[in-house]
Structure 1
Amino acid sequence: MTQTKSIVVERLIPHSAQKIWRALTAPELIAEWLMQNDFVAQEGHRFTFRAAPVPGWSGVTNCVVLKIEAPHLLVYSWGDGSESDSGLRTVVTWSLTPEGAATRVRMEHSGFRPADERGYVGMGGGWPRILERLQQVAARQV
């Protein structure tokens, strides 16, 4: 069995779980804090995140919604757009836990194999900034 690594970022956000859930699941809002997408909050839905390509990445992330328990849990696969065995095949799990008037947001990006080290390092630096943008988008929700 290959050892895998996970990236975990937690943040207490001073907004309700419902506001954050909307930012996590409305395609137009996801585009503001993460990437363009065709997300639908339905288990089994296949969707893509799309960004400008960079060296070593096509700009496409293939995903499948694996589990939804609104407004507390969202899980989706995260691939690099490659169908090969060497392609990135990971899972992103969002957990929302109310704490008073705030919500503890926990994002775990799991399943990085040794061959995925470049992605692990890159995304490890990116996710904290992405959660900051998620918080900003959630703050604007009614």
Structure 2
Amino acid sequence: MSLTLTLDFQYKTSIEKLWSALTDSSKLAKWTMENDFKPVVGHRFHFRTQPVGGWNGIIDGEVLIVDEPRRLSYTWVSAGQENTVTWTLQDLGDGKVNLHLEQTGISNEQALGGAKYGWSAMCGELGKMLEQ
């Protein structure tokens, strides 16, 4: 069984500024984790955070889609689970942008709940960063 997480967040910002927050390694680190991300299809990268319990704190990824400034997709491999994360940006006009997250390949309800909690917290941090 494979589960999919979908979440939507609205931000008062430009689509270009939001795209930069998703693809610029130093900006990405401010709201997610330390990383060596580059928005280049085929680029392999890592997110790194504090290890917890039996988890080493490393997420491996490979960039799958870069369609600036509309769509970004990469693999998300951690603790033996391989997911795909896809961000879709939509300019709503009036200085608002919708950010749609889809994470596929989630193995169980507990992992789905963890992903929802984690992304909701990180996208809250993203919102604070965009307001600066």
Please give the TM-score of this superposition, normalised by the length of structure 1.
0.87
Count of matched residue pairs = 131
5 Å matches for 1:1-142?
Answer: 3-80=1-78, 87-100=80-93, 101-114=95-108, 117-140=109-132
Distance 1:11 1:28 in 2: 21
For structure 2, the residue ranges without an aligned partner over 5 or more in a row are none
Distance 1:102 1:139 in 2: 12
Contact 1:22–1:138 (8 Å) recurs in 2: no
Distance 2:20 2:122 in 1: 16
Contact 1:6–1:112 (8 Å) recurs in 2: yes
Q: CA deviation at 1:124?
A: 1.6
Q: CA deviation at 1:121?
A: 2.2
For structure 1, the residue ranges without an aligned partner over 5 or more in a row are none
Distance 1:46 1:118 in 2: 27
Please give the TM-score of this superposition, normalised by the length of structure 2.
0.93
Q: C-alpha root-mean-square deviation of aligned residues, in Å?
A: 1.2
Distance 1:21 1:49 in 2: 18
Post-superposition Cα deviations, 1:72-118, rounded to whole Å, max 9, x if no partner, equal 100000001x5xxxx1100111000000121011111111124xx44
Task: Give the strand-richer structure, 1 or 2.
Answer: 2
Q: CA deviation at 1:55?
A: 1.0
Post-superposition Cα deviations, 1:26-58, rounded to whole Å, max 9, x if no partner, equal 111111100000001100000000000001321
Q: CA deviation at 1:134?
A: 1.2
Structure 1 runs, 4 residues or longer, greater than 4 Å off: none
Distance 1:38 1:119 in 2: 25
Q: CA deviation at 1:11?
A: 1.3
Percent identical residues: 32
Where 1:71 maps in the other structure, the secondary structure is coil
